[in-house]
């Protein structure tokens, strides 16, 4: 046991937190400064303890049973920061919490840019989490992990599959490829480290009038004869993700194509020599095949960056996509421009939802700024979730849209838009007609009435008001995206003059 004694001493004093390093026996101090790999090399076992035996007996029994070559200590474990797999020589134990984290060795850089000599000093070293818990401005070493800036907190680089579908006009610049470029930029920003790059996979499908071309993070652009090759590739990605992560991964699909103004159907191509029109679910099925993202992973999202006519005229077909996705997000606007929506809304949503782990509603509203929500652009966001429950998010300045139905502010006498006059301490909003008819109205807004909720997503601007309107969309038949009109008080029609 002469060879195992230093290893046993090392393990004992490493776990003993009651005695300060300076008060340890001289022999223990010398052992703690030795090369850790040497202590466990050549069959020297010092980490086993079993019932009814001493540490020395356990070491002898293990060596007798397995032999020296098999007893060689080469433990492979994970870094608690980047979750990479490393041998013991590339890992250091935090002297506070005991977590292992990777360090710089001859094999390459680690999360902590420190050497083994620094780690094995009597004082030891803290992991990046304990440094942050101790409210240190920065750790006492260069940090090469996922925290791009110490003040930003942890960056989540969870496994994800992204499928992008956009339309390309023949012999013209694409008006839809900006969305795919933004998604790829986000993936490159979040998964740029070689330690997490394998967790993200993307497939980019370009639909044209007479063909379909696709590429991925693993292959160059290929013109497809039909969409079978795309479906096979996506199914293989899902199989690999399921093998490594079970269901703990994300699936995102971004569809950026034109729609038919008449019936709201989407323009797409199945790799044939002619294009066709179909519902959003038909487009997704043509690309993903038999893969049902909702069943394959814990979280799946479909984003439809399509013309607003599709939402206004075929909203039930948007809601129908919830059979394959946990969440479906679509848009409508007075002057719809998918490039503008992608540029202003898409990147903030990706960062907030996937990287910063904000709740879905907060992530959706992250890019819903004054620039796109005010009447000039008039962007509305429609979100459908589990069991088809849907909500419409719209700009709700009280002077323009107090109740969720802007027609409530039309004069009850002449029908013209009224102007805001005042708000009383009792919470009554007074409006008067702009014309000589002297029409007027008084409203009270109660949060939750008619499934209309008031939100203030911008903490800097308390006056920025968004309305969240619950939707009841039948599978067929008429529907309205606005709450019912408020009843007209007869005195607003008969009593002239100011309020």
For the chain of 499 residues, list the mean pLDDT of each consecutive stretch of 10.
Answer: 64 75 78 67 40 44 39 51 72 77 79 83 79 74 58 64 86 72 88 82 88 87 86 94 92 88 77 78 91 94 83 86 93 80 90 88 91 85 86 91 91 87 89 83 90 89 90 84 88 59
pTM: 0.69
The pLDDT score that the predictor gives to residue 152 is: 36
The pLDDT score that the predictor gives to residue 426 is: 87
Query: What single-letter DSSP state applies at residue 20?
Result: -
DSSP E strands: which ranges in 232-338? 250-256, 266-268, 276-278, 299-304, 327-332
The pLDDT score that the predictor gives to residue 40 is: 57
The pLDDT score that the predictor gives to residue 46 is: 40
**CA–CA distance from 8 to each of 65, 336, 423 (Å)?**
19, 71, 77
Category of 130 on φ-ψ map: left (φ > 0), alpha (ψ -120 to 50) or beta = alpha
The pLDDT score that the predictor gives to residue 64 is: 42
CATH class for the domain made up of 75-155: alpha beta
The pLDDT score that the predictor gives to residue 174 is: 63
The pLDDT score that the predictor gives to residue 466 is: 94
The order of strands in the sheet holding 160-167 is 219-224, 212-216, 200-207, 160-167, 250-256, 299-304, 327-332, 380-384, 390-395, 466-471, 452-455
Sign of CA dihedral 62, 66, 72, 78: negative
The pLDDT score that the predictor gives to residue 154 is: 46
Domain 160-395, architecture per CATH = 3-Layer(aba) Sandwich (3.40)
Residue 37 token pair: 């790999």
The pLDDT score that the predictor gives to residue 35 is: 65
The pLDDT score that the predictor gives to residue 119 is: 83
- Tell me if domain 75-155 and domain 160-395 are identical in fold: no
* Structural domain boundaries in the chain: 1-74, 75-155, 160-395, 406-494
CB 73 within 8 A of CB 93: no
């Amino acid at each position: 046991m002469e060879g195992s004694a230093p290893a046993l001493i090392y393990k004992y004093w490493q776990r003993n937190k009651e005695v300060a390093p300076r008060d340890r026996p001289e022999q223990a101090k010398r052992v703690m400064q030795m090369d850790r790999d040497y202590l466990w090399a050549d069959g020297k076992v010092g980490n086993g303890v079993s019932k009814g035996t001493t540490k020395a007996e356990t070491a002898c029994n293990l060596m007798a049973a397995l032999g020296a070559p098999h007893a060689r200590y080469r433990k492979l474990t994970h870094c608690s920061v980047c979750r990479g797999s490393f041998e013991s020589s590339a890992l250091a134990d935090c002297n506070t919490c005991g977590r292992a984290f990777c360090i710089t060795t001859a094999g390459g850089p680690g999360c902590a840019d420190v050497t083994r000599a620094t780690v094995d000093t009597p004082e030891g070293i803290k992991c990046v989490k304990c440094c942050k818990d101790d409210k240190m401005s920065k750790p006492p070493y260069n940090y090469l992990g996922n925290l791009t800036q110490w003040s930003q907190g942890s960056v989540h680089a969870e496994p994800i599959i992204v499928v992008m579908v956009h339309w390309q006009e023949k012999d013209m610049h694409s008006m839809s490829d900006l969305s795919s470029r933004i998604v790829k930029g986000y993936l490159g920003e979040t998964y740029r480290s070689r330690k997490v790059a394998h967790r993200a996979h993307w497939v980019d499908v370009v639909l044209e009038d007479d063909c379909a071309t696709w590429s991925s993070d693993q292959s160059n652009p290929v013109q497809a004869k039909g969409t079978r090759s795309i479906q096979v590739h996506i199914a293989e990605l899902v199989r690999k993700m399921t093998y490594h992560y079970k269901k703990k991964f994300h699936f995102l699909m971004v569809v950026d194509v034109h729609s038919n103004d008449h019936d709201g159907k989407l323009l797409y191509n199945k790799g044939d020599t002619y294009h066709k029109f179909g519902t959003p679910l038909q487009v997704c099925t043509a690309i993903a095949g038999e893969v049902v993202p909702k069943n394959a992973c814990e979280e799946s999202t479909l984003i439809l960056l399509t013309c607003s006519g599709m939402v206004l005229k075929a909203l039930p077909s948007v809601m129908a996509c919830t059979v394959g996705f946990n969440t479906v997000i679509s848009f409508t606007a007075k002057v719809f421009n998918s490039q503008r929506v992608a540029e202003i809304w898409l990147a903030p949503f990706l960062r907030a939802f996937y990287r910063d782990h904000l709740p879905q509603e907060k992530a959706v509203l992250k890019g819903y700024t004054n620039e796109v929500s005010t009447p000039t652009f008039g962007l509305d966001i429609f979100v459908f979730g589990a069991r088809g429950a849907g909500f419409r998010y719209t700009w709700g300045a009280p002077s323009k849209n107090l109740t969720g139905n802007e027609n409530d502010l039309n004069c009850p006498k002449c029908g013209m838009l009224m102007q805001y006059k005042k708000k009383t301490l009792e919470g009554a909003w007074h409006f008067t007609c702009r014309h000589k008819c002297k029409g007027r109205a008084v409203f009270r807004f109660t949060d939750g009435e008619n499934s209309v909720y008031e939100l203030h997503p911008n903490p800097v601007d308390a006056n920025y008001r968004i309305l969240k309107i619950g939707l009841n969309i039948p599978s067929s038949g008429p529907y309205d995206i606005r709450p019912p009109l408020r009843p007209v008080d007869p005195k607003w029609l008969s009593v002239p003059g100011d309020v």
